[in-house]
Amino acid sequence: MLKIAMLSTGEEVLHGDIVDTNASWLSEVFFQQGFPLTKRSTVGDTFNGLVEELLMLSFNSEIVIVNGGLGPTSDDLSTEAAAVAAEVELELSPLWLDRLQQFFAARGLAMPESNRKQAMLPKGSVLIDNPIGTACGFKMLINDCVFYFTPGVPSEFKRMVSEQILPDLQRTYTNVEGLDCGRIYTFGTSESGLSDKLDKLHLPQGYQLGYRSYLPYIEVKLFGPKGDLDTRLKLMQIIHKLIETNVVSIDQPMNDYVGQLVAERKMSISLAERSTHGSIASWLHANHDAQNYCGHGWVLGGKVEVGVAEGDLLAETLALAGATKDKCATDIAIVSGRLIENTFAVSLATPEGEWGQVLTFNRRFSRQDQVTLITTVCSDMLRRYLSAKPIFVDYSSLKREKEMHVPRSVLG
Amino acid sequence: MLKIAMLSTGEEVLHGDIVDTNASWLSEVFFQQGFPLTKRSTVGDTFNGLVEELLMLSFNSEIVIVNGGLGPTSDDLSTEAAAVAAEVELELSPLWLDRLQQFFAARGLAMPESNRKQAMLPKGSVLIDNPIGTACGFKMLINDCVFYFTPGVPSEFKRMVSEQILPDLQRTYTNVEGLDCGRIYTFGTSESGLSDKLDKLHLPQGYQLGYRSYLPYIEVKLFGPKGDLDTRLKLMQIIHKLIETNVVSIDQPMNDYVGQLVAERKMSISLAERSTHGSIASWLHANHDAQNYCGHGWVLGGKVEVGVAEGDLLAETLALAGATKDKCATDIAIVSGRLIENTFAVSLATPEGEWGQVLTFNRRFSRQDQVTLITTVCSDMLRRYLSAKPIFVDYSSLKREKEMHVPRSVLG
C-alpha cells in the first residue's frame, strides 16, 4: 500500500483555533479515490519545525500533500522550508509573476510588493495552477518522496486537489481504483448497536463497511469497487433490512428525503414548538421542496396560546397538536411539548388521527443536543406518517414513558 | 521551548469520519496552561504505522500525549505498540485488573475476558487512573521522551488530562506559567480587517493576540501573564476602542450578552421570520435569560399573514415589523423579510420607532450560512437598540442598499 501523508501548517490549526476542514475533506476524498491516507500531521509556523517535519515525512512516505503557508506574509514559510529541506534555491517563476500582475490588474490594483514572494518557487519544482487565488501550488521531490504544496484557502485547496493533484496521481498510479460509496442514514441507535447487527454480514471481496457518527445521525457507508451497481444495490437492501427500524434515509440526508415526501404529498404543516423554539421550522425550511408547505407555523414559548390548559404532559401536547392544526387550518400539525428536566412530549396531528409520546433522555445531553434530538424525533414521526410506517419506535438514547394514538374515528 | 506533540490514533479519525475534538480541546488547554503543542499527528490502526510514529515522535519531542487505542478490541493497539517501541514486555497490573472486576461487578456483570487486555501495561510504565471508564492511562519513557497514553472517549480523556496529566507536567516544569485569556467577540469584519487595526498596537512583554474565526463571529483573544488583571483590562479597553464598530460582546458569547440585555430591560419580543424560519427564535431561546421574553413569536413562511401587501422590500418588511408588534402586543418585533437571490431585508419595531435595512451578500454563501448571517444581523440590531447604539453599521461581507428609520413621532 502507498504511504500517503498530509501535513497541515499554521499556528491557528495547531492550537485548535480553526477546525482543519481541509484535512477531513482530503481524507475522505482520497480514501474514496483509492488513495487512503496513512498519516496526517500538523505543525505551526516555526521555520525549523516545518523543515524537520518535511524531512521526517520525506523519509517515511511516498506521497505528501502539504497544506497552507503559501501566502504573501512573513508567517507563510512553506515554500522556503521546502527549498531548505530539498537543499535547493528559490527561483522566480516568470509565468506566475505574470499571472499575479494580471490578477491585480484585473481588479484595478497594482500588485503589492509582498505578493512577489508568491512567484518564488523551489528550483526544479513544477508549478500547479490556482485559477482562483494568488497562491500557486507546486510539486517537487524531497529525498525521493513526491510533495504537493497547496494553498490553505479551502475553495482554492479543494479545486487544486480535485482538478490537478488527483488526476496527476491517477496518471501515475494507473492500477489504483476508486471506490463507490452507498450511504444509509440512521437515527436512534448506537454505533455498537449497528455493528452488532452488521458484523455477521459476509461481504464479498472488495466491499467494506464504515460508520460516520455525528448527532443526530450515524451514517452506515458501504464501500465497494466502482461500477458494480448490481452487487452494491443488493448489499444495500440486505443492510437496510438488518437495521430497518433506525434507517431514516438512503443515499440522501433525512432532511432531503422528508422534504421530498412533504412535497409529493402536498400537505401543509403547522408547528407549535414549546421546547424546540423554531428548530423544527428551520429544519423543514432547510429543504426547498418542503418550504412551500410549511407556511403557517408558530413558535410558542412560555405560554400556550390555543386554549389548552397545562396538566398531563402527554394530554396537553396532544391537545395542542389538534388545536394548532385546527387554528392554522393545515393538514398536519407537529408539536414539541414542554421539556421538564430530562422528559419531553411530542405529538403529531394528521387527517388520519393523532399520535403523542412522552420520552426521557437516557444520557446527559447539552441543551443544544437535546433540542436537536427532539427536533429529529418530531421529523422522524412526520417521516413515518408520510411513508405509512409505525409512528412509535424504540430509540436507544431515549426511553419511551408513554404513548397514545387517537384515531380519526374517535376525533369525530 | 518544550517540544510537545499529540498523537491521535484510529482509522475513523484518520479518514475524517469523526472530527478530532480531543485534539482541538487539548491544543487549546495546553496553550493556555503554558504548554503549547509543537506538533500534532494522526495515524490509523495499523500496528507497524503506530510503532513507527511512536519512535519518530520519541526522537523529536520531549513530551507526547497519545490518544486512543486503549479499548478491549483487536483494533486497540496503542499499548502493545508502546511496548514494542520501548522494547519492553507487557505485564499485568493487578491493581487495574481489580478495578476492572469491581467496575463490572458494580453493574451486576462478570468482566468479559476481552477486558483483561486493558490491565496489561508496558513494563516500567506508571498507571494513570481513569475514574469513569475501563481504559486506564499510563506514563512511560520511550527513548527518553515522556509519553502519556490516554483513552479516546472524550469525557475520560478530558478528565484524565485536567486532573492528572496537567498537574503532573506542572509539578515537573515548575517554571512554566499559564496564560490568562480575554476574549472580544466581533461580527461583520474580516480577520485581516481586524489585524490591520490591531497590528499597530505595541503590546507589553508577555502579551499576544490571537484570532479564532467561525461563522458568524471572529474572536479576538488577548493572552497575557496570569494574574495581572490591571494590565489586561487596560489592554482590552484599548483593543475594544480600535475595533468598536464590530464588537458584539466581551468575555461572553454575543448570545449570552443579548440575553442579559433582554432580561434587564424586561421587554417582550415577537418575531416574523420570512427568510430565517425559526432561526432567530432558536437563537433567542438558546439563552435562558431571554427565554421568558420571547414567548409570542411566529414563524412566517410563504405568505404574510398580518395584512401587509408585498411590494417594495424595505417598505413591506418595515410594515410587517409594525404589524407583528401590534398583533402580538409586544414591546419589540424583529422581522427577517424576504430573501431574493442575494438581497434581503430586516427590520426592528420598538417603542421608540422602527428601523429597516436592505442588505446584499458580497460573497457567495451557502443557504445555511446566509440564514446564520441574517439571524446575526437581526440580533445585532436588537443588541444595538438595547444598548442605545446606532442601529445601522457597515458589515464587511454585506452591502447596505437602503435603510430607513421611522421615529415614534411619525408613527403617532
Distance from CA of B128 to the nearest CA of A (A): 25
Would the CB atoms of B212 and A12 count as touching at under 8 Å?
A: yes
With contacts defined as CB-CB under 8 Å, which chain B residues touch A46? 38
pLDDT digits over B173-182, tens only?
Answer: 999 988 888 9
Is residue A291 less than 8 Å (CB to CB) from chain B?
Answer: yes
CB pairs under 8 A between A and B: 182
Read off the pLDDT of each residue in B350-362 and give the average, rounded to a whole number. Answer: 95
Per residue in A75-125, pLDDT (tens digit) is: 899 999 999 999 999 999 999 999 999 988 988 888 888 889 999 999 999
Considering only CB atoms, which chain A residues are within 8 Å of B263? none
Residue A163's pLDDT band, with cuts at 50, 70 and 90, is: very high
Whole-number Å distance between alpha carbons of A147 and B379: 46
Confidence class for position B291, pLDDT limits 50, 70, 90: low
Test A299 with B303 for CB contact under 8 angstroms.
Answer: no
Distance between A145 CA and the closest CA of chain B, angstroms:
17
Residue of chain A nearest B35, judged by CA positions:
A15
Please report residues of A whose CB lies closer than 8 A to that of B41: 39-42
What distance in Å separates residue A337's CA from the closest CA in chain B? 14
* pLDDT for residue B268: 86
The more confidently predicted of residues A16 and B89 is B89
Whether pLDDT at A275 is above 60: yes
Using a 10 angstrom Cβ sphere, with 0-12 exposed, 13-18 middle and 19 or more buried, the burial of residue A237 is: exposed
pLDDT exceeds cutoff 60 at B297: no
Q: What is the percentage of chain A residues whose pLDDT exceeds 70?
A: 94
Do B15 and A38 lie within an 8 Å CB cutoff?
no
CB contact under 8 A, A368 and B49: no
Residue B301 has pLDDT above 90, yes or no: no
Report the sign of the C-alpha dihedral through residues B277, B282, B284, B285, in that order: positive
Answer with the residue of higher pLDDT: B323 or B412.
B323
Residue identified by cell 477486558 is B115
Q: Which of A297-306, A310-319, B11-20, B384-393 has the highest mean pLDDT?
A: B384-393
Residues of A in contact with B298 (CB under 8 A): 297-299
- The answer to whether residue B379 scores a pLDDT higher than 80 is yes
pLDDT at B123: 97
Whether residue A16 lies within 8 A of chain B, CB to CB, comes out as yes
- Of A169-183, A332-346, B57-71, B189-203, which range is least confident? B189-203
CB contact under 8 A, A292 and B305: no
Q: Is B40 helix (H, G, I), strand (E, B) or coil?
A: strand
pLDDT at residue B166, as a whole number:
97
Tell me what ipTM this predicted complex has.
0.77
Q: Amino acid letter at B117?
A: K
With beta carbons under 8 A apart, name residues in chain A contacting B52. 60
Query: Is the predicted pLDDT of residue B294 greater than 60, yes or no?
Result: no
- State how far the Cα of A271 lies from the Cα of A110, in Å rounded to an integer: 56
Residue A293: the pLDDT is: 61
The CA–CA distances, whole Å, from A94 to A121, A369, A377 equal 10, 54, 60
Task: Find the closest chain A residue to B155 by CA distance.
Answer: A364
Above pLDDT 70, what percent of chain B? Answer: 94
pLDDT mean across residues, chain B? 89
CB nearest B297 (choices: A53, A56, A299): A299
* pLDDT score recorded for residue A266: 86
Going along chain A from its start, the domains and CATH numbers come out as 4-172 (3.40.980.10), 179-251 (3.30.70.2860), 255-411 (3.90.950.20)
CB contact under 8 A, A297 and B279: no
Searching chain A, which residue's CA lies closest to the CA of residue B56? A56
Query: pLDDT above 90 covers what percent of chain A?
Result: 61
Chain A residues with beta carbon closer than 8 angstroms to that of B294:
277, 301
Distance between B409 CA and the closest CA of chain A, angstroms? 31
Cβ–Cβ contact B191 with A under 8 A: no
Nearest to A39 among B41, B279, B367 (CB): B41
pLDDT at residue A306, as a whole number: 55
Q: Is the pLDDT of residue B300 over 60?
A: no
- Residues of chain B contacting A43 with CB distance shorter than 8 Å: 38-40
- Chain A nearest-CA distance from B391, in A, is 25
| pLDDT computed for residue A289 by the predictor | 64
A297-345 per-position pLDDT tens digit: 555 543 445 556 678 999 999 999 998 888 878 899 999 999 998 999 9
User: Which of B12, B21, B35, B42 to mutate to probe the A interface, most A CBs <10 Å?
Assistant: B42
Say what the pLDDT of residue A311 is.
80
Q: Flag whether pLDDT at A290 surpasses 70.
A: no
A298 vs B: CB within 8 A: yes
pLDDT (tens digit, 9 = 90+) per residue, B240-288? Answer: 999 999 999 999 999 889 989 988 888 888 888 888 888 888 888 777 6
| pLDDT(A231) > 60 | yes
Measured in degrees and rounded to the nearest 5, phi and psi for residue B388 equal 55, 40
State whether residue A190 sits within 8 Å of chain B by CB.
no
Which residues in chain B (147-176) have CB-CB distances under 8 A to chain A?
none
**Residue B40 to residue A41, Cβ atoms within 8 A:** yes
- B177-214: pLDDT as tens digits: 888 889 999 999 888 788 888 988 999 998 988 888 88
Residues B82-117, buried b or exposed e (16+ Cβ, 10 A)? bbbbbebebeebeebbebbeebeeeeeeebeeebeb
Q: What confidence tier does B355 reach under pLDDT thresholds 50, 70, 90? A: very high
* Rg of chain B on CA atoms, in Å: 28
Confidence (pLDDT) at A12: 83
* Separation CA B11–CA A10 (nearest Å): 24
Higher local confidence (pLDDT), B285 or B61: B61
pLDDT tens readout for residues A52-86: 999 999 999 999 999 999 988 888 999 999 999 99
SS (H, E, C) chain A: CCCEEEEEECHHHHCCCCCCHHHHHHHHHHHHCCCCCCEEEEECCCHHHHHHHHHHHHHHCCEEEEECCCCCCCCCCHHHHHHHHHCCCEEECHHHHHHHHHHHHHCCCCCCHHHHHHHEEECCCEEECCCCCCCCEEEEEECCEEEEEECCCHHHHHHHHHHHHHHHHHHHCCCCCCEEEEEEEEECCCHHHHHHHHCCCCCCCCCEEEEEEECCEEEEEEEEECCCHHHHHHHHHHHHHHCHHHEEEECCCHHHHHHHHHHHHCCCEEEEECCCCCHHHHHHHCCHHHHCCCCEEEEECCCCCCCCCCCCHHHHHHHHHHHHHHHHCCCEEEEEEEEECCEEEEEEEECCEEEEEEEEECCCCCHHHHHHHHHHHHHHHHHHHHCCCCCCCCCCCEEEEEEEEEEHHHHC
**Surface of A (362-381) touching B: CB under 8 A:** 367-368, 371
User: How far away is chain B from the Cα of A375, in angstroms, using its nearest Cα?
Assistant: 12
Please report the residues numbered 214 through 253 in chain B whose beta carbons come closer than 8 angstroms to any beta carbon of chain A.
Answer: 214
Average pLDDT, chain A: 89
Mean pLDDT of A177-185: 91
Is the Cβ pair B37, A14 closer than 8 Å? yes
The reply to whether residue A16 touches residue B27, judged by beta carbons under 8 angstroms, is: yes
Predicted confidence at residue B317, as pLDDT, reads 94
Residues 6+ apart with CB under 8 A from A69: A9, A10, A45, A50, A75, A76, A77, A78, A79, A81, A152
Closest to B18 (Cβ–Cβ): which among A43, A213, A297?
A213
Q: Which of residues 32-51 of A touch B (CB under 8 A)?
A: 36-44, 46, 49
Segment A332-359 shows an average pLDDT of: 94
